[in-house]
Structure 1
Amino acid sequence: MRWFRLIPAVLTAALLMTLTPVGAVQAAECEVSRPVKFAGLDWQSNAFHVEVARFIMEKGYGCSTDSIPGSTIPLLQGMARGDLDVTMELWRDNVEEAWAKIRKANQAEILGVNFPDAIQGWFVPRYLVEGSGAKAPGLKAVSDLPKYKQLFRDPEEPSKGRFYNCILGWGCEVINTNKLKGYGLLSDYTNFRPGTG
């Protein structure tokens, strides 16, 4: 097996990396004289991406950084004013109007995509609708939801199902709330908004 030949080289490289003085590798000098400000949006995947980007900016480019906490619309408005430099994650479907206005005014630029295959929608567990043990094989559309509300029983209102919405204040929470009203589901489902995403 040829990969055994690589082991000594890998071990040697690892040893040399551990022996290299920490100060031997210096960060580049930052091209910006002020802190690079990131949008500290209030969900975990964004927090992770922001911290990774801040680490790279600080350690790799020698920049100071800051993360400004907030929700999507206020932080987008801050970006349009020049108060923020970077947002690492944006669910544009939830803020279409605000995003279109900012893009039209050339106040923001898309540099990359975090989740190229990310979708938003209403989902139920596959085991409920498929297979021999499926409890809701007839659940094919939103209009079928009232027939199956007992499968999603709300412990606080047992006569209704519980619809798990986005957290209060997110764009998707507003969209889902309007859809629940529009589809006439509020008589069969509670609109549950969790405390965190």
Structure 2
Amino acid sequence: MKFIKNTFLSIVFFTFVVLGSTSSKAACSVHLGDFDWDSANIHTAIASFMIENGYGCDVEVTKGSTTPIMAAFFDGQIDVVTEVWEDNLVELLKPH
């Protein structure tokens, strides 16, 4: 239950980070990254629904495995990733 609560709060947080400065009728476009596992698919679907229906934004979803999706995210090609497993990104997240 704690995992579900934390995941939901993460989705809400990232949605507000991306769209926090837009009004509900703003024309915007958000690019979501979706991984190839079930829990990420659910989180991305929920975030996509919230962004499209709550904010009226166009949503584009790119599906893929961890490495290409995170590379696109760090490169700025993807705006939001709804689920990240830190253990999969140890080298990328280490302070340099």
Q: TM-score with structure 1 length normalisation?
A: 0.35
Amino acid at match of 2:26: C
Residues 1:60 and 2:36 aligned together: no
Matches within 5 A, 1:27-176: 28-30=24-26, 32=28, 35-100=29-94
Alpha-carbon distance in 1 for matches of 2:91, 2:84: 13
Higher helix share: 2
Report which of the two structures shows the higher radius of gyration computed on alpha carbons: 1
Distance 2:26 2:65 in 1: 28
Which structure carries more relative contact order (alpha carbon 8 Å, separation 6+)?
Answer: 2
Relative to structure 1, the CA distance from residue 30 to residue 99 in structure 2 (aligned partners, 3 Å threshold; closer, same or farther) is farther
Q: Secondary structure at the match of 2:63?
A: strand
Describe the SS at the equivalent of 1:76.
helix
Unaligned runs of 5+ in 2: 1-22
Contact 1:73 1:98 in 2 (8 A): no
Identity of aligned residues (%): 32
Amino acid at match of 1:29: K
Could you list the runs of 4 or more consecutive aligned residues of structure 1 that deviate by over 2 angstroms after TM superposition?
none
RMSD of aligned alpha carbons: 1.9
Q: CA deviation at 1:100?
A: 3.3
**Match in the other structure for 1:191:** none
- 1-structure distance, mates of 2:85, 2:32: 16
1:31 CA displacement: 5.7
Residue deviations 1:125-164 (CA, integer Å, cap 9, x gap)? xxxxxxxxxxxxxxxxxxxxxxxxxxxxxxxxxxxxxxxx
Unaligned runs of 5+ in 1: 1-26, 105-197
